[in-house]
Amino acid sequence: MADYRTINAASLTEVVRAIVKAGGSTDREAELVSTNLVEANLKGHDSHGVGMIPRYIESVKEGGLTLNGHVSVVMDAGVMLTLDGNQGYGQVMGYEAMELAAERAKRNGVCVMGLSNAHHIGRIGHWAEQCIGHGLVSIHFVNVISRPIVAPWGGGDGRHGTNPFCVGIPRPGKDPIVLDFATSKIAQGKTRVAHNKGVELAPGTIIDSEGKPTTNPRYTVVPPYGAILPFGEHKGSGMALICELLGGALSGGVTAKGPADGRRQVINGMFSILVDPNKMGTGENLAKEMEGYVAWHIGSPPAPGVDHVQIAGEPERAWKKQRLAEGVPVDPTTWEEIIAAGAKVGLEKAAIEKIAA
């Protein structure tokens, strides 16, 4: 970690905010994008954090990311809502979509929402946490329209995206449960982070351009491309297919059906179900049964080398506590990419370094 830049969260947020604003975004848009990305870093998911800014700026320059946009309502039936993200910043589209869906779920008890055509919406757990803030249970299926990077089980090349799945459950008075994972063995961004760090991936994680096992992350970052393997073999592959169909097609968007066109944009579709447990009449039962079961779950004797059994969302909270105190580490390659992104929108290196300091 000696070569890393360690930057406090507030300063890192200011760096990203300045770059996004220099790219043409309003103060509100720059705020939503910067706080969302840094929150991902704080939660330990550098793959979805500030390292995405270079790709966002490239997409802006290509015309694949629309600035200062908002979600459009395609269909509103109260309990059912279909939205178009208009290729706008996913951090804005995701926020607006969840607020609209949450209002309907609190009014009607449930909302089934489809969001299509949003630029990269980042860490899906962020949207589950937004729903938790409204006291709602939420389930999310997401697809990714970009370069196909994940092989189907038994396949030898990339055919779909990392296609995340997420569930958020509020726990009154206690830390919530947030299950958020890619249907690939690891998120694509984590291979980028490994490549930038110059470290190998664990065996059995990716294949090379010939479909052979490899540990070199370059096969998911620079051509000739290989692919990430699905988690859980056929189970993860099957779940990725479901996320593609629900997040891509049922949401009102499109599915990945061919190779990428070389552009830097990343388009997400998301199919979400939001439920108010109190409107359902089972809120008290959920809270009681959840506490009993969580106690049973974490009460298992720790395996050798394990401190204690955790619940989904606990590692992210631990990372955030540590990084708020110690700062966010940024590897040298990622930092130089961020500096270069700033230059593309007219921000000099000295100005960015001053903000970071």
How many helices (H) does the chain have, and how many strands (E)?
Answer: 11, 12
Residue ranges of domains in the chain, CATH in brackets: 1-62+327-357 (1.10.1530.10), 72-184+234-315 (3.30.1370.60), 194-229 (no CATH)
Please give the backbone phi and psi of residue 42, each rounded to the nearest 5 degrees, phi first: -60, -35
Amino acid 100: pLDDT: 98
pLDDT cut 70: percent of the chain above it: 99
Number of Cβ atoms within 10 Å of the Cβ of 283: 16
Average pLDDT over residues 186-198: 91
Average pLDDT over residues 293-304: 98
Say which DSSP state 228 is in: E
The residue assigned the tokens 């000739």 is 224
Average pLDDT over residues 175-179: 98
Residues sharing a CB contact under 8 Å with residue 328, sequence separation 6 or more, in sequence order: 6, 7, 8, 9, 12, 38, 41, 42, 49, 50
Write the pLDDT tens digit of every residue in 224-276: 999 999 999 999 999 999 999 999 999 999 999 887 777 889 999 999 999 99
Paired tokens of 9:
């969260």
Percent of the chain that is helix, strand, coil (3-state, to 5): 45, 20, 35
Q: How confident is the model at residue 128 (pLDDT cuts 50, 70, 90)?
A: very high
**Amino acid identity, position 227:** A
Q: How confident is the model at residue 342 (pLDDT cuts 50, 70, 90)?
A: very high
Amino acid 261: pLDDT: 76
Write the pLDDT tens digit of every residue in 312-328: 999 999 999 999 999 99
Amino acid 2: pLDDT: 54
CA 214 vs CA 147, 160, 162, 207: distances in Å: 19, 19, 18, 5
Record the pTM. 0.96
Amino acid 4: pLDDT: 86
Asked whether the predicted pLDDT for residue 1 surpasses 90, the reply is: no
223: exposed, middle or buried (C-beta count within 10 Å: 0-12, 13-18, 19+)? exposed
